[in-house]
């Protein structure tokens, strides 16, 4: 009931944003806005908060094209945002629709489109309007699906998706507060008819909420359980990170060196978590391997007898003579060559692992980024010897996945991870390369290579 739920004031919202810090100076926030009361209220509150910091908000509306009204609704949201002084962009979902699981597929597509827009425009923070009712439904859904303890923690207030930080500032607030916020301002909203369609499981659970509450299973109780499970999840992550910090070091080539015996010495669940995170970091995958493939890897690594090389999660795991294992990017499914972005362009995410920016003046047309590959390594060694330099020692397994800068005539001109440049070329662009946020062992951004100066002293 609106009468039972006070509106969210600007001051209250600022208090909800505070635990999500840090934010950059003059932050540019993206907010997912469908036109419903929750996302509209979030956009208006976030706009006021960002303006107070000298920043701004861009509202992102995804037109799924699932209903005839969707295009008109997106235009209406654009008009409302313009009236509030906020930028607005409509993103469209194109491609085939699944025969089953349409609502889940639409949610995934919406998040992927907004994440891609944020990456393309250099926006770090994406705000979503999930509230306590959504969290309760998520926990019930996952409970019915047999989720483990991490799943029962529900949605996180802060999570990383590659180069984007997803924030849910009103996750612990009752749904009625966003409606009350708009009602207090006299602001209309759009009611999505799919939110009343009982063909969808979430809607059926919503209809069951009063009966569940009478039976003692209330939304606040489910949210509290999720919060406690989230605390336990964070403790497990801290133990995972401590295990990785004690057993893993990175080199400047993006490969990890692992004291495998020590990493494997612990409860299987903790070992699997550490292995999964390690593979996601090295391989650049958005989600770590999990389930049976990860357990099979743990068992094979624990087997007695001569160790053998293994692969999983876009990674190769190779034993060393001293008991240290090297984990590097596998030489399969590497990205195709892609044009080098200009200096004013947002960072380019390469292979899910590296952010690449051009430092200084813009490059001439025709420069590209590509995996070095085996042939590229031969080209590098020839070029270095032609100028009297000896090629650095790089393990054979690591070479194919190195990032290479390709000149307009198709030659390897620079490999930032081994030095800069490989051969003198007129107009050679200077690159600034970092590991992508979400691909470091502790799930944060970190600098890896300097702008045109080869390797830095910092560990990834």
Q: Residue 218: left if φ>0, alpha if ψ -120 to 50, beta else—which one?
A: beta
Helices assigned H by DSSP within 257-354: 260-263, 268-283, 291-302
Annotated ligand binding at 35? The verdict is: yes
CA 103 from chain centre, in angstroms, equals: 21
Task: Report yes or no: 445 and 435 within 8 Å, Cβ to Cβ.
Answer: yes
Q: Give me the long-range contacts of 308-313 (CB less than 8 A, separation at least 24).
A: 312/279, 313/276, 313/279, 313/280, 313/283, 313/285, 313/288, 313/289
Annotated ligand binding at 437? The verdict is: no
Annotated ligand binding at 276? The verdict is: no
Report the distance separating Cα 164 and Cα 111, nearest Å. 11
Task: Report yes or no: 307 and 317 within 8 Å, Cβ to Cβ.
Answer: no
3-state DSSP assignment of residue 62: strand
Annotated ligand binding at 424? The verdict is: no
CA 270 from chain centre, in angstroms, equals: 22
Max CA separation in the chain (angstroms):
81
Question: Cα dist. 80→40, 74, 83, 84, 194 in Å?
Answer: 9, 10, 5, 6, 22
Annotated ligand binding at 323? The verdict is: no
Report the distance separating Cα 418 and Cα 377, nearest Å. 11
Task: Report yes or no: 17 and 45 within 8 Å, Cβ to Cβ.
Answer: no
User: Would you say how long the chain is, in residues?
Assistant: 460
Question: Cα dist. 55→69, 77, 164, 181, 442 in Å?
Answer: 33, 21, 17, 22, 28
Annotated ligand binding at 25? The verdict is: no
Annotated binding site for ATP: 34-39
Annotated binding site: 34-39
């Amino acid at each position: 009931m609106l009468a039972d739920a006070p509106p969210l004031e600007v001051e209250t919202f600022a208090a909800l944003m505070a635990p999500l810090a840090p934010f950059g100076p003059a932050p540019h926030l993206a907010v997912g806005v469908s036109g419903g009361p929750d996302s509209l209220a979030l956009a208006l509150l976030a706009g006021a908060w960002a303006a107070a910091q000298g920043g701004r908000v861009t509202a992102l509306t995804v037109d799924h094209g699932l209903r005839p009204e969707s295009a008109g609704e997106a235009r209406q949201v654009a008009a409302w945002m313009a009236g509030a002084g906020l930028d607005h962009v409509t993103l469209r979902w194109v491609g085939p629709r699944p025969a089953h699981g349409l609502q889940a597929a639409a949610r995934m597509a919406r998040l992927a489109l907004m994440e891609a827009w944020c990456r393309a425009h250099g926006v770090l923070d994406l705000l979503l309007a999930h509230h306590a009712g959504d969290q309760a439904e998520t926990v019930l859904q996952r409970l019915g699906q047999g989720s483990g303890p991490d799943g029962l923690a529900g949605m996180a207030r802060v999570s990383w998706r590659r180069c984007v930080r997803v924030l849910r500032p009103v996750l612990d607030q009752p749904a009625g507060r966003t409606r009350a916020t708009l009602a207090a301002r006299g602001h209309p909203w759009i009611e999505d008819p799919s939110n009343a369609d009982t063909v969808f499981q979430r809607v059926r659970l919503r209809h069951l909420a009063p009966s569940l509450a009478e039976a003692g299973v209330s939304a606040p109780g489910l949210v509290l359980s999720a919060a406690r499970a989230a605390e336990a999840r964070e403790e497990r992550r801290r133990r995972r990170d401590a295990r990785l910090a004690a057993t893993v070091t990175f080199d400047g080539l993006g490969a990890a060196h692992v004291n495998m015996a020590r990493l494997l010495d612990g409860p299987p669940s903790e070992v699997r978590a550490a292995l999964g995170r390690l593979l996601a970091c090295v391989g650049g995958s958005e989600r770590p391997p999990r389930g049976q493939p990860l357990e099979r890897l743990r068992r094979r690594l624990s087997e007695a007898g001569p160790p053998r090389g293994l692969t999983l999660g876009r990674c190769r795991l190779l034993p060393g003579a001293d008991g240290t294992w090297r984990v590097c990017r596998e030489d399969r499914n590497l990205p195709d060559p892609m044009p080098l972005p200009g200096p004013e362009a947002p960072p380019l995410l390469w292979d899910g692992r590296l952010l690449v920016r051009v430092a200084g003046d813009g490059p001439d047309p025709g420069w590209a980024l590509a995996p070095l590959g085996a042939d590229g390594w031969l080209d590098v060694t020839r070029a270095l010897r032609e100028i009297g330099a000896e090629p650095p020692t790089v393990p054979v397994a690591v070479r194919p996945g190195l990032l290479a800068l390709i000149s307009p005539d198709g030659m390897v001109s620079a490999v930032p991870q081994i030095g800069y440049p490989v051969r003198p070329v007129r107009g050679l662009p200077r690159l600034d390369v970092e590991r992508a946020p979400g691909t470091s062992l502790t799930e944060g951004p970190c600098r890896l290579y300097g702008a045109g100066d080869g390797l830095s002293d910092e560990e990834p």
